[in-house]
Amino acid sequence: MTGSAAPGRPRSEDARVAVLQAIDDLLGEVGYAAMTIKGIAERAGVGRMTVYRWWPTKAHILIEACDQDARSELAFTPHADPVRAMTDFLVKLATFLTASPAGAAYRALLGEAQHDPEVSRLVAEADLLAAPARAVVDHVRTRLDAVPEDRFAVAGLCGPLVLMVLTGMPAPARPALRSMARQLATAWA
């Protein structure tokens, strides 16, 4: 039957928000590896079966928890100057990766994805950084003639900063990020 609801009771928005908040809290307190569905359910004040009914794994919860935050925190604001547009995005990305609970969740998911094929698939499908970065790439493509295809352009825009943060280096300040953006703009001009 087309358009029928999923089996079971409808999702309670209060319970959903509590689970998403619980996973954020536990990520900071115990880390991804030590988190369990039982612990998430207890922290959220819901039953384990409620959690399992909505999310099959903690990775699924974590993806949902950081998805909405990533979209808002990395929202692109167009600017006529492609260097400024890329710099503004890189500043947001640096803040997301280093100061945001959603960025911490994303980093945890990237780590787990290195040895769990299911998490790797989830991260790839969620496209948490690539979707916002593609908005920047699409915008600068209208001003620069040699922007490569999306996957390479997104990797060129986000990759150096993600690598720095994942390897423990501090995120560069705005002037260094502007220099990175300027180098990309020159290469893509």
**CB environment 53-83: b (16+ within 10 A), e (fewer):** ebbeebbbbbbbbbbebbeebbebeebeebb
Residue 3 has a pLDDT of 37
d(CA 56, CA 103): 22
Which pLDDT tens digits describe the chain residue by residue (189 residues)? 333 334 555 568 899 999 999 998 998 899 988 999 999 999 999 999 999 999 999 999 999 989 988 999 999 999 999 999 999 999 999 999 999 988 999 999 999 999 999 999 999 999 899 999 999 999 999 999 999 999 999 999 999 999 999 999 999 999 999 999 999 999 999
Q: What is the pLDDT of residue 17?
A: 92
pLDDT at position 68 is 82
For the chain, give me the number of helices (H) and strands (E)? 10, 0
Q: Could you tell me the domains of the chain?
A: 13-55 (1.10.10.60), 65-188 (1.10.357.10)
Q: What is residue 127's predicted lDDT score, i.e. its pLDDT? A: 87
Q: What is the pLDDT of residue 64?
A: 92
CB atoms within 10 A of CB 155: 14
List C-alpha distances in Å: 75 to 1, 40, 68, 136, 161: 37, 29, 11, 9, 17
Identify the burial level of 93 via C-beta atoms within 10 angstroms of its C-beta, where 0-12 means exposed, 13-18 middle and 19 or more buried: buried
Lookup: tokens for 78: 């167009």
pLDDT value of position 11:
64
d(Cα 23, Cα 36) in Å, to the nearest integer? Answer: 9
- Which phi and psi angles does 15 have, rounded to 5°? -65, -40
Q: Whole-prediction pTM value?
A: 0.86
Which class for 25: exposed (0-12), middle (13-18), buried (19 or more C-beta within 10 A)?
middle
